[in-house]
Chains A and B, each alone.
Chain A
């Protein structure tokens, strides 16, 4: 026997002893253990050895109390029965809002938007450069940035193109397909103000250029006074380092502002005396109005809500109790009220808001409803702490026309048919 076999034998003896202790009424020996282990391996390895076209069938014993479960894992995975997933395209993927609970988006389901792929960045080589109108141009490693006093907060990030399909004629889509370019995470990082203090800002510096280290070297310029109180340089999301598609190892977070301005893979901050008129703030992310003029630097995401249960593509199985559930948010602060209508906006009743209600963060709302099996028109309408009320689609279009593409935040209407189908309609 070579030493490795001895070690393996020892290990099996120990494992058999443990099993005897855990299941005192049963007989265990090395042979039984080997048989069990190989059959378990067989069950778990079969899908890998013989992959089928569809997802591997989940391991589901008829009675899970009679079969030992799987061992501990280094990095957890969700149950194979859970299927919520993003809808990926080349430059974006959307969050399955209708499949989520509470307010936090799991990191793996956070929406993506990138302009030339997700870069692979070695954090030990990543640097942040701060220069321009400063007293001392400085360069920071990731280790140095993590040594600054840290802060965590929950905040949503919404692409300003979210729900953009709703400017046009209605199409039958799900909540995810229409509104899935928004997610909420707990973000951790260092205040931008603290990092800038190391460089010393010159008085003429009123705007700041942020640049990503991706293959678009994406840039936006931002008005310094408007962002300095809340901007964070984030290195963590939901307790872990950022996901690559969220800017690993470093991203800018501007709570309540359009996602495009929250530059990911952040490598450079340059203090400047005015906006640099980058492509992303002139040719894109500007809102064309009916008179042919375009609004520029429309950073804030206005209050919005959407019912996620029931929502487009779902089906109510039969008349009876339905808890109407959804998400509301405002880039200007806290959501103070969400109202629900089941008759297309004639009568409204307040929904219950899940505490804690946080500023610039998803707010979960719910309202119990008895569906009588007749046609219904479900809507949600939210109000934020500034008193702003989410507009109807008709009011939004009356002011902005249908060519602005960005910043659509009108009330979503879902029609429930007599058969229980849920359809996207305009009222």
Chain B
């Protein structure tokens, strides 16, 4: 009788242990290497994605419809950009945008859009998201295409009749396109 009770209690204890191992206390244990998700977050709607999806890649992906000419760009530049970058993009006081060709390997490199930037698409992306600093993301696609065209014209990369859009902008090859190398560090013995 007594032994029988012990056996039954023992079985119960083993079953409890097995149950704890499988189910855990108060829920299921999540092994660290599992691919289980947590069911947190909500599916993003296309409207939510669209309102923030403003990046432009080097292949032009993300460029919106619209177009802008060098002539229109001159007006946008004078009204919006010249106060910080100078009347022709060479004077500053903020980052110089124009000139500097052939200076990168010298003692006094001048890093500008024309001499340094490897992709023209970066100009569209950056100007729309961050310029002018007092009112970022307010320029229209036409205005951004136009001011990009004007800056590239000032650098001698496009001619003055150029009109840029989502097809023509990614096709522009920047002078310093091959000017970048991967990180070789550690490099100092």
Contact = CB atoms under 8 A, between A and B. Distances in A.
Interface string A278-306: 11001100101111111111111010000
Given A139-B42, A144-B41, A297 B49 contact: no
Interface in A100-122: 115-116
A257 B189 CA distance: 21
A298 B49 CA distance: 30
Contacts of A297: 182-183
B186 A388 contact: yes
B161 interface: no
A427 interface: no
Interface string B80-93: 00000000000000
B121 A277 contact: yes
A198 B136 contact: no
Among B41, B126, B182, B188, find the residue whose CB has the most chain A CB atoms closer than 10 A.
B41
B41 A140 contact: yes
**Chain B contact surface mostly:** loop
Contacts of B129: 216-217, 219
Contacts of B122: 277-279, 282-283
Interface stretch (B17-25, B110-118, B140-148, B151-159): B110-118
B54 to A, nearest CB: 7
A396 B58 contact: no
B53 interface: yes
Interface string B173-187: 000000111111111
A253 interface: no
A270 B67 CA distance: 26
Contact of B105 (A194, A197, A292, A295): A292
A278 B125 contact: yes
A197 B36 CA distance: 8
A198 B37 contact: yes
Given A131-B53, A291-B105, A198 B126 contact: no
A345 interface: no
Among B58, B119, B186, find the residue whose CB has the most chain A CB atoms closer than 10 A.
B186
Nearest to B115: A292
B102 to A, nearest CB: 9
Given A216-B130, A293-B180, A302 B186 contact: yes
B58 A277 contact: yes
B136 to A, nearest CB: 5
A296 B183 CA distance: 6
B40 A219 contact: no
A147 B44 contact: no
Contacts of A268: 52-53
B78 interface: no
B183 A298 contact: yes
Interface of B: 30, 35-38, 40-44, 48-49, 52-58, 104-107, 109, 111, 113, 116-119, 121-122, 125-126, 129-130, 133, 136-137, 179-189
30 contacts: A130-B41, A130-B44, A131-B53, A139-B41, A139-B42, A139-B48, A194-B38, A197-B36, A197-B37, A198-B37, A198-B40, A198-B41, A274-B57, A277-B57, A278-B126, A279-B122, A282-B117, A282-B180, A283-B116, A286-B180, A291-B105, A292-B109, A293-B104, A295-B182, A295-B184, A296-B180, A302-B186, A391-B188, A399-B188, A400-B188
Given A217-B54, A274-B58, A293-B179, 12 more contacts: A127-B48, A131-B53, A144-B41, A217-B130, A219-B125, A279-B122, A286-B180, A292-B104, A295-B184, A296-B180, A400-B188, A403-B107
Interface of A: 115-116, 127, 129-131, 136-140, 144-145, 147-149, 194-195, 197-198, 209, 211, 215-219, 267-268, 270, 272, 274-279, 282-283, 286, 288-300, 302, 386, 388, 391, 395-396, 398-400, 403
Q: Shortest 10 CB-CB distances between A and B: which pairs? A: A292-B105, A292-B104, A279-B126, A137-B44, A138-B41, A139-B44, A217-B129, A391-B188, A296-B180, A140-B41
